[in-house]
Chain A
Amino acid sequence: MPMLTTHCRLSFPSAGSSLYKTTNAVQRITENRIQRIKEDKIMAQDHKAAPMVDEVSEFEVLEIAVRELAIEKGLFSAEDHRRFAEFAHSIGPLPAARLVAKAWLDPEFKKLALEDGFTASKEVGIDWLNPTGFGTPSDYCDLRVLENTPSLHNVVVCTLCSCYPRPILGHSPEWYRTPNYRRRLVRWPRQVLAEFGLQIPADVEIRVEDSNQKCRFMVMPMRPEGTEDWTEDQLTEIVTRDCMLGVALPHPDRKGDDRRPVHKAANPVHGH
């Protein structure tokens, strides 16, 4: 069988032809791209990824195992769990902070909030009857808003367990669940508040409200001085979670998302 030979003729574009121009343009684009890749690589070397925990703990495995088995056994559905988790991820103290800020600015709304916390909550986007969008897991939908005055300071606890106005205030802090806080606050409120750094003058009455199976409470603190011309958004930023539990007071210089202060070591180790 005769061997087949393929002839290939290469043609080069002559200078000035349209093909030559196109080839040059492609070359320039390619060079630019290579340059950008080089620059990106240099930037990537400078930019370090945020630290992360790069190992799986026994506790993490245990949490997943329990959840998967519970779903398989029909104790709850995966969809139920997802909704609870998504709901928990999406709430924070903001709705309650806005409720307080609105009440500070609008006397009519304040009256409503104090008389009917449930209805007032709806105006900041929280429906206690249906906070998750698929039915509340409990029967607590009676929100009482407790007003602080110059002669009265309110603080919230749940002596029985850890009842908390979650639909409007998000997840409870760890200390709220501890027997230490729950037991001692009702006995020695002034001392416990002092441990939070809150000194309440002796002539101010402290009232401890104990959450129960029907009621949830939040505190409406007094509007601090120095916020006279502030907008609702500005006021919302300074009404932190702790202010609405009664273990702190709002301050014009302190916002909920402020970074924690860093105190440098007095006698640092050399090089650190």
Chain B
Amino acid sequence: MTTLRKNNPEAEVPNSEFSPISLLEKVREQGRVWEDLAKQYGVDNADPPWKINLDSTCEALAAEQCTLPVLERRNEEDVLSETLYKDVPYPERQLLALVHSMIQRGLIDEEELAARMKFIDKRLNSA
């Protein structure tokens, strides 16, 4: 993977051929999106409560160490939003695209992520 400076206008246009990642496909198919949840529970918040955490994760990844440069992530998000995650609303598709980019770069491992999700799900639903 080419390392590029963030905010470089000449950032490489990402490969438009992204392969589905089974864990993210499962989330895409089974996950309940905020607009449905908000409607069901009569909540009028435009964004899910995790949205700012997601933005902050993107910021932190692009900060000093430049682990995932802004432009690379945004370019990939654009492509993924028009392909694999075309039917997913925002900001859920922003989240899926970010994780897709991270797994593809080897920043996190799919199996490790699946295990952590299981653990967190149990933790959040324990109360």
Contact = CB atoms under 8 A, between A and B. Distances in A.
A30 B49 CA distance: 43
Given A51-B43, A139-B7, A63 B95 contact: yes
Contacts of B31: 57-59, 62
B7 A213 contact: yes
B61 interface: yes
Interface in A52-102: 52-70, 73, 75-76, 80-81, 84-85, 88-89
A94 B63 CA distance: 25
A62 B27 contact: yes
Interface residues of A, number: 43
Given A67-B57, A84-B60, A161-B74, A53 B43 contact: yes
A179 B78 contact: yes
B56 A65 contact: no
A44 to B, nearest CB: 20
B84 interface: no
Contacts of B33: 57, 59
Interface residues of B, number: 58
A53 to B, nearest CB: 5
Main secondary structure of the interface of B (DSSP, over half): helix
Contacts of A59: 27, 31-34, 48, 50, 92, 95
Interface string A29-56: 0000000000000000000000111111
A139 B7 CA distance: 9
A162 B74 contact: yes
Contacts of A171: 55
Nearest to B74: A161
Nearest to B73: A161
A75 B65 contact: yes
Nearest to A212: B9
Contact of A57 (B26, B32, B52, B59): B32
A174 interface: yes
Contact of A70 (B37, B61, B62, B70): B61
Contact of B99 (A66, A73, A81, A88): A66
9 contacts: A51-B43, A53-B37, A55-B37, A58-B30, A59-B34, A62-B31, A66-B98, A76-B67, A161-B70
